[in-house]
Amino acid sequence: MHENLDVFVIGAGVVGLSTAIRALEAGFNVTIFAETFPTDPKSISCASFWAGANHISVATTNALLHRLEADTLSIFLKLIKDQPLVPVMIRLHKEHAEVSGPAYQQQSDHVAHCYSDFRALDSSELPEGVVCGGTFSTIFIDVPKYLLYLMDRFLSSGGRAFRVKLPSVSALVTEKDRPSLAAFPATSTNVSPSFDPAAVINCTGLGAVSLGDVLDTNLYPTRGEILILHAPWINHGLTHHWEDGHITYVIPRQSDGRVILGGTFQPDDWYPTSRAETVKLIKERGIHAYPELLPPGRRENRDINDLEVIEECVGLRPTRKGGVRLEVSSLTVANKSYPIVHNYGHGGAGYQSSWGSAKFAVDLLKSVVKNDD
Ligand SMILES: Cc1cc2nc3c(=O)[nH]c(=O)nc-3n(C[C@H](O)[C@H](O)[C@H](O)COP(=O)(O)OP(=O)(O)OC[C@H]3O[C@@H](n4cnc5c(N)ncnc54)[C@H](O)[C@@H]3O)c2cc1C
Ligand SMILES: *[C@@H]1O[C@H](CO)[C@@H](O)[C@H](O)[C@H]1NC(C)=O
Ligand SMILES: *[C@@H]1O[C@H](CO)[C@@H](O)[C@H](O)[C@H]1NC(C)=O
Ligand SMILES: *[C@@H]1O[C@H](CO)[C@@H](O)[C@H](O)[C@H]1NC(C)=O
């Protein structure tokens, strides 16, 4: 019923791609406009390149996020069942805490409620220095492959895409301000759309710095520094809660024996590349919390130089005061009003809330389009 309606999605990170796929499936004619795409070299302007990523709910006090994460988990589980080759796997995860304060207890109770096979660890199972913990199975997403999977799924379902860095959303619908567009992929023969969309979906993550009709001043980066290790022998994830509030986390990937070791959560820190002192700290804490990250036969000395580091990474999580923005506004350009559906500000939870957010955004889209009829 929406066949002839053109919808524009801005952004091709995990949120933009998932939303564009859902909008296509709802029958809209969808075009993505983005500066970066999954086939590009990783760049600091797209958070999705840098995520681990796992699904460990962080929505202890945010009811909307809790719902988005729960919906996303069911959709991922169904996807794994229907398409066993999708680059997402189910593995065991452990939580270890060095202190059992109220903050950890609240998070642990929440996690116990979110994952059906959660089990508190028995004291005999806890390593030295750890006072409590839990274990459950969850999903681990092989990020580089998964982003390519989403892009392929979008294009093969009839979606179109153009590469462009937009100074604002209005520039997209104003011919004289519109930067030149390049068809994506470059070999495709995409014809330009009509530039009179029924609605625009804003999935620009932290794009606030560059994308300003009205800048959302509630957005800020939470810098995440992580390492990619070669450690094919690792088969379960870990979150280790340190006494000083730091977190060490380990996320196994499906391919090439890669394992993520993180990491930092640094609000308002824009520094785009790794810092030597942080790398050293991540390694030291990593081998203390999870000695098996070291290669078999080289664990005795607990020497950080024995870790097989493939890459030092930094990404900027698009965090928003007040949480994800999933709502409708409108933009008036040359006396014409366009509905804008916002879907950004997912912070450290963009993968684990991606499908739930996409569904929510497409429901908003349907409601604005209906009201316009
Ligand atoms: C180290 C690290 C670990 C993480 N681990 C996890 C995890 O385990 N689980 C989890 O769920 N999440 C995790 N995250 C968070 C997750 O990566 C983000 O929440 C998610 O990637 C946000 O996706 P997005 O599509 O909203 O934004 P982005 O991925 O940043 O995409 C934004 C898109 O908008 C485009 N864009 C922006 N401005 C413009 C413009 N002006 N013109 C044209 N295009 C524009 C960009 O080019 C890009 O295509 C992690 C993040 C980091 C950094
Ligand atoms: C989608 O939009 C393009 C460009 O405006 C148009 O050529 C195409 O026919 C549209 N497809 C549908 C199914 O409406
Ligand atoms: C689109 O999202 C960005 C955040 O990435 C925000 O700053 C901007 O105001 C939004 N655009 C419009 C037209 O509301
Ligand atoms: C917008 O509408 C006003 C009043 O109807 C008119 O004077 C003006 O020329 C219009 N502007 C544009 C850009 O169409």
More confident position, 365 or 373: 365
pLDDT reading at 201 higher than 90: yes
Strand stretches in the chain, DSSP E = 6-10, 29-34, 88-97, 119-120, 132-141, 160-163, 182-184, 199-202, 219-230, 237-241, 247-252, 258-262, 266-267, 309-320, 325-333, 336-344
Residue 360 has pLDDT above 70, yes or no: yes
Quote the crossing angle between the two packed helices 354-372 and 14-25, to the nearest 10°. 50
- Tell me whether strands 266-267 and 247-252 are parallel, antiparallel or unpaired: unpaired
Helix 102-114 to helix 63-82 angle, to the nearest 10 degrees? 40
List the structure tokens of 344: 């950004």
DSSP label at residue 54 = B
Residue 371, pLDDT > 70, answer no
Q: How many CA atoms lie within 13 A of 33 on its CB side?
A: 28
Residues lining ligand 2, judged by CB closer than 6 Å? 3-4, 6, 29, 191, 193-194
Q: Kindly report the backbone phi and psi dihedral angles of residue 54, in degrees, each rounded to the nearest multiple of 5, phi listed first.
A: -125, 180
Q: For residue 209, what pLDDT is reported?
A: 65
Place of tokens 């459950």: 136
Q: Which residue of 32, 46, 225 sits with most ligand 1 atoms within 8 Å of its CB, as the best mutation to test the pocket?
A: 46
Mean pLDDT of 284-291: 98
Checking if the pLDDT of 2 tops 90, the result is no
- What is the model's pLDDT at position 3? 58
Task: Record the pTM.
Answer: 0.96
pLDDT for 87: 97
Atom of ligand 1 nearest to the CA of 313: 1
Residues 32, 7: Cα–Cα separation, whole Å? 9
Give the pLDDT band of residue 370 (cuts 50, 70, 90): confident
**Cα torsion for 318, 324, 326, 329, to the nearest 10°?**
-70
Check pLDDT > 80 for residue 208. no
Work out the angle at residue 34's Cα, subtended by the Cα atoms of residues 147 and 67, and round it to the nearest 5 degrees: 55
What are the tens digits of pLDDT across the range 53-79?
999 999 999 999 999 999 999 999 999
The rounded Cα 213 to chain-centroid distance in angstroms is 25
User: Cα of 313 to ligand 1 centre, how many Å?
Assistant: 14
Residue 335 Cα: closest atom of ligand 4: 1
Q: How far is the CA of 155 from the centre of ligand 3 (A)?
A: 25
Residue stretches of the annotated binding site: 204, 241, 249, 317, 348
Average pLDDT score, the chain: 94
Q: What is the mean pLDDT of residues 213-222?
A: 90
**Centre of ligand 2 from the C-alpha of residue 196, in Å:** 12
Query: Which residue's CA lies nearest to atom 12 of ligand 1?
Result: 349
Q: What is the percent of the chain where pLDDT is above 90?
A: 88
How many CB atoms lie under 10 A from the CB of residue 39? 13
Residue 103's pLDDT band (cuts 50, 70, 90)? confident
State which ligand 3 atom lies nearest to the alpha carbon of 318: 5
| Residue 49 identity | F
215 C-beta closer than 6 A to ligand 3: yes
CB-defined site of ligand 1, < 6 Å = 10-16, 34-36, 45-48, 50-54, 164-166, 203-207, 210-211, 224, 226, 262-263, 315, 317-318, 344, 346-352
pLDDT at 147 over 90: yes
Per-residue pLDDT for 215 more than 90? no
Q: Which of 173, 335, 336 to mutate to test the pocket of ligand 4 (most atoms within 8 A of CB)?
A: 335
H-helix or E-strand containing 153?
helix 143-156
Residue ranges of domains in the chain, CATH in brackets: 1-87+142-218+321-373 (3.40.50.720), 89-139+219-317 (3.30.9.10)
Residue nearest atom 4 in ligand 3 by C-alpha distance: 208
Q: How far is the CA of 121 from the centre of ligand 2 (A)?
A: 56
Q: Which amino acid is at 253?
A: R
Distance, in Å, from the CA atom of 310 to the CA atom of 207, rounded to the nearest integer, reads 29
- Residues of the chain with pLDDT > 70, as a percent, come to 97
DSSP code per residue over 320-350: ETTS-EEEEEEEEETTEEEEEEEEE--GGGT
As a three-state string, the secondary structure of 28-39 is CEEEEEECCCCC
285 C-alpha to ligand 1 centroid (Å): 26
- Asked if residue 54 has its Cβ within 6 Å of ligand 3, the reply is no
pLDDT in tens, 289-328: 999 999 999 999 999 999 999 999 999 999 999 999 999 9
Quick: pLDDT tens for 153-195. Answer: 999 999 999 999 999 999 999 888 899 999 999 888 777 778 8
Task: Flag whether pLDDT at 104 surpasses 90.
Answer: no
DSSP sequence for 277-313: HHHHHHHHHHHHH-GGGSPTT--TT--GGGS-EEEEE
